[in-house]
Amino acid sequence: MAVIHQTTMQPTKLELLTEWLPTRAWHTGGEPRPARVGGFRLDDPAGEVGIEFMAVTDGEGAGATTYLVPLTYRGEPLHGADHALVGTSEHGVLGKRWIYDGTHDPVLAAQLYALLTGHAQAQAQSLTDVPDLTVAVSPVTAEGAAGAAGVELVRVTDGPDHTDVVVRTPDAPAPLTLRVHRVLDAGTDVPPGVDGGVTAEWRLPDGTTARGVFAVALTGPGPQGLAA
């Protein structure tokens, strides 16, 4: 269970994202001024890695874009993941934290698979041990799926509006693609032809709540526009 500390981070997550977002292929451009508008957390069973799926809105009014930024927080550097480092920050309780683009972190990949197979529960973004019941999952029905155990991160590829996280699991002979939607589209639902998906909520600039697809799972070529 992740413990959420009410403390400071220097620099803040949003300050780090201000520098990092424009370097991403899926960022739509303009001067970044990200604001956190939603998301959820997943627990690392080992209790070592913080996992957060953060929705941030950049821009104003009708021109605003909402991005999904999965992040992991570690007490030590992740070996071989320098390219995925968002930055480091001094946590008021835990000390120095290494913050990564979570799509490149094998712990996040395994727990996202666990969520999609019904073996993990989305947690509230800012509260300890409080399930986020607004997060809806259309589960992957992998025969014998045993959660995160044995999940191997194979490769990560950025697209124009998504990131594909390819994993190998003990439950299937072929790799599975976990597609993380980087640019969130309000009003969308898990499309037909995918093997499972996650929808969640975020706040729009006018204060209303939107819902859309955060991630889907693909085992084959998928429907048009979803091929891995």
Q: Cis check for the bond before 32: say yes or no (omega within 30 of 0).
A: no
pTM for this predicted structure: 0.90
On whether the CB atoms of residues 170 and 205 are closer than 8 A, the answer is: no
Instruction: Give the span between the Cα atoms of 152 and 135, in whole angstroms.
Output: 25
pLDDT for the residue numbered 178: 96
209-218 and 95-101 strand pairing: unpaired
39: left (phi over 0), alpha (psi -120 to 50) or beta: left
DSSP sequence for 106-126: HHHHHHHHHHHTTSS--B-SS
Tokens representing 86? 């968002």
Cβ-in-10-Å burial (0-12, 13-18, 19+) of 69 comes to: buried
On whether the CB atoms of residues 28 and 183 are closer than 8 A, the answer is: yes
What residue ranges do the domains of the chain occupy? Answer: 9-218
Instruction: Give the span between the Cα atoms of 199 and 187, in whole angstroms.
Output: 10
Average pLDDT of each block of 10 consecutive residues along the chain (228 residues)? 66 95 91 92 94 91 88 96 96 83 98 94 89 94 65 95 94 88 93 92 90 90 41
pLDDT for the residue numbered 228: 37
pLDDT for the residue numbered 172: 76
209-218 and 196-203 strand pairing: antiparallel
Structure letter (DSSP) for residue 69? E
